Amino acid sequence: MSSAPLRFLKCSLFVSPNESGVVPPHSKVDTRPAKSYHVMVARPDYKKPDYYARKAKDRGFGARSVFKLEEIDGKEGLTRPGQKVLDLGAAPGSWMQYLSARVGARGLVVGVDLKPLTRPARANERFIAADVFALDPGPLLSEHGPFDLVLSDMMPNTIGHKASDHYRSIAIAERALEFADALLRPGGAFLVKVFQGADFESFRAGLRGRFEKVKVKKPKSSRPNSREVYLLALGKIGSKEEGSHGSEEKRRQGGKKGWR
């Protein structure tokens, strides 16, 4: 059994005067150096497999995060056969694996990540090894788009400073939103992970100006002490030029928007 790293908090025991600044009579003041003791607080060990990590291994997925997507999809009905889906931050490939089974042979899943997939790509999958901040969405649109669903499970390498980690997560989410703006069809959906913090509400407000409905999702498989949440934006509002394509897409889907 591996031991978790410990953090030490130093506290002091001392005798002080009362509120008036006077030491009560017949009281002894301890003039010796303050005594101290240490409180040991164990940090969670994320490397140790938990229930969802073991479940992912049993079902042949490379990462436990697949159950976050599975839960949101089960409740919101995001995926269906024949869809085109863009997965940003796709490595090690668990979300792509889940999505390729959901969209089927007529669908397409395109994944983007700097890190490689840990498995061979399936027939209905395409993987692009690239930095999203350097990748031009234009060729993706002309070659594979428009997309019905854009997903981002991207996160910065955290440094343990809550504010800094939050602002960096928002910067990545804003880049993912640029892809959604450029590549989503009218009526499409966007799912993005962020850390909660000072800019959370302003980012959510930006989504509300682009989509018909925005929801906050905290899947059960997210670690309880994590500040991560997912913002789910449904029904991309299209421009006038996109309107005819959106109407055609709704007719193709039988008048349904593609979520419940």
d(CA 219, CA 72): 7
Instruction: Note the pLDDT tens digit of each residue in 40-83.
Output: 434 444 555 565 567 566 665 665 668 899 999 999 999 999 99
Where are the domain boundaries for CATH 3.40.50.150 in the chain?
51-252
CA 133 to CA 148: how far, in whole Å?
22
pLDDT classification of 125: cutoffs 50, 70, 90: very high
CATH number of 51-252: 3.40.50.150
Q: Counting beta carbons within 10 angstroms of the beta carbon of residue 138, is it exposed (0 to 12), middle (13 to 18) or buried (19 or more)? A: exposed
Catalytic-role residue among 84, 193, 213, 250: 193
pLDDT tens profile 171-191: 999 999 999 999 999 999 999
With tokens 């089927």, the residue in question is 104
pTM, 2 dp: 0.73
DSSP at 123? T
The question of whether 256 is a catalytic residue gets the answer: no
CA distance 124 to 103: 9
Count of CB atoms situated within 10 Å of the CB of 187: 24
